[in-house]
Structure 1
């Protein structure tokens, strides 16, 4: 299968701080999920992949191009859909105008075809009925869907999505998962999220990032398997567990090294994520 992103030993500095500290990443068509705590380097990595910010060291190829060159950067941008954490739409634009403006920037020059494309992506994210509403009147979830609409313009070969489900209600998140799963057929989607259930639902590939480095790179099943034999239930909270929380039935779910005779249960991706990160899973990194 064709490699779409190849990043080796990427470094990105902000003063003395290394937001990326020798990170490796290889992706192929399909959906890759980035998991990691706040400050782990996920947003910086996505900004580098989306050609928003350059890397300082290492090598990077995106869709066969070198984004550190003018020619390569332009080629990547012509095949890219990018949803940043804050899309920054002008509040005075209507929903239609906001997406149409981005379509013009993406070189959709024929007005009739461009307007058809704008209507298509607004329909995909469920915003057709508010197309004439001002951006400033939208809820946070609607603005997130507006950002996703502009990223989908032109059916890009690479979608880079930073926290795409923030502010979405459960129904909207299900719709988002369907959109992303569809987009991942024959194309590459890289999405950053704190929601392990989103990764489990739509991602064929998962990378766990912390302190600017990749801690894990593999399938969801391979990540989940790291917690096999290390998840158990008990009527009382065990202080020796790495993480524990009360379930709705009153018993406690534990992750860590189980005591002898513990009631082991099948792990979920969240359990493996907590084990992999250790204390950093519940604390923001220094960034």
Structure 2
């Protein structure tokens, strides 16, 4: 099973072009859609989920034409949006049972078994009688995955799922997503680089509605070997370095500023080489300093 997105564009009534000729091939497994806030990730997810129309282009899931067969797409889709609300005075078991009815599971015995199985899978069975208002953020996200798994979907979309989770809940959620992504398409839309590096075999980097790069995270990192350099500087020196070098990121460490610079050769004696990671790939791509493109639209990491 593969999701094929071809020449997808979307402009909102206020004139904002959210998607610009997007082309992607998304295979079975975990796929990371990585980009900053406002990059167009949620617009793309809503379009795939048939929650909004595109201006042009098409989407296919296997033999299914998503735009022409919206109802069929919805039958095989699980969706956890960025803002997932719950009824605070209803238990997880009751609300999941209600969602199961809406999903078309009308047989009472089958529905009961399905609800129990999903609550077990998401590690919520022991708290199934507890009202959702008493759940932590991570528990609510796991409940969101439980409802997304109703009906044995072929594709699941999760939009910014780990934002605001503490490290322990984030790890639990990662383990759950990893298990789910073994047999179906799971699209993880996020601005958190570690989510993609930890979970995804394939990814795309998107910004301002355009896909800038696609490929495998490990290969992308390997391609950047020998091109990332680090230097400790004073805060007031940052502007000068940004003028003289391709500074892709800066951060504070022990009261000092560390900059990462993209360059084919050592940019100065005070710079030291750095083992690149996906964050370097991401910032270099977003900032536009990488120019090894195979097409005018995007870099293909292969």
With normalisation by structure 2, the TM-score equals: 0.84
1:278 to 258, 277, 287: 287
Aligned mates of 1:62, 1:18 — CA distance in 2: 25
Structure 1 position 142, deviation (Å): 2.4
In structure 2, what is the equivalent of residue 284 of structure 1?
none
Q: How many residues end up aligned between the 2 structures?
A: 275
Query: Shift of residue 207 of structure 1?
Result: 0.5
Taking only aligned residues, the RMSD between alpha carbons, in angstroms, comes to 2.1
| Residue aligning to 1:252 | 258
Deviation per residue, 1:124-165 (Å, 9 max, x gap) = 222223212222333333222221111122332111111111
Correspondence 1:93-242 to 2 at 5 A: 93-237=90-234, 239=238, 240=241, 241-242=247-248
Question: Which range moved further: 153-162 or 223-232?
Answer: 223-232
Q: Distance in 1 between matches of 2:22 and 2:267?
A: 36
* C-alpha contact (below 8 Å) 2:11/2:19 kept by paired residues: yes
Q: Which moved more, 1:104-113 or 1:130-139?
A: 130-139
Contact kept? 1:177, 1:202, Cα under 8 Å: yes
Question: Of the two, which has the highest radius of gyration?
Answer: 2
Distance in 2 separating the partners of 1:248 and 1:74: 55
Alignment-derived partner of residue 7 in structure 1: 5
> How far does residue 199 in structure 1 lie from its aligned partner after superposition?
0.7
Q: Aligned partners of 1:149 and 1:254: how far apart in 2?
A: 40
Alpha carbons 1:255, 1:271 under 8 Å: kept: no
Conserved? CA contact 2:7–2:21, under 8 Å: yes
Contact kept, 8 Å, 1:141 with 1:166, in 2: the verdict is no
Shift of 1:123: 2.2
> How far apart, CA to CA, are the structure 2 residues paired with 1:118 and 1:92?
18
What are the equivalent positions in structure 2 for 1:53-132 lying under 5 Å apart? 53-69=52-68, 72-132=69-129
Moved more, 94-103 or 265-274: 94-103
Unaligned runs of 5+ in 1: 280-287
| Residues in 2 aligned to 1:243 and 1:197: alpha-carbon distance in whole angstroms | 16
Per-residue Cα deviation, 1:108-132 (whole angstroms, up to 9, x for no partner): 1111221222122222222223212
8 Å Cα contact 2:4/2:25 also seen in 1: yes
Deviates more, 1:115-124 or 1:251-260: 251-260
By how many angstroms is 1:234 displaced?
2.9
Shift of 1:189: 0.7
Cα 1:255–1:125 change in 2 (3 A) is farther
In 2, Cα distance between equivalents of 1:92 and 1:231: 52
1:266 aligns with 2:268: no
How far apart, in 2, do the equivalents of 1:165 and 1:63 lie? Answer: 29
Contact 1:233 1:251 in 2 (8 A): no
Deviation at 1:276, TM superposition (A): 0.8
Please report the TM-score for the alignment, with normalisation by the length of structure 1. 0.88
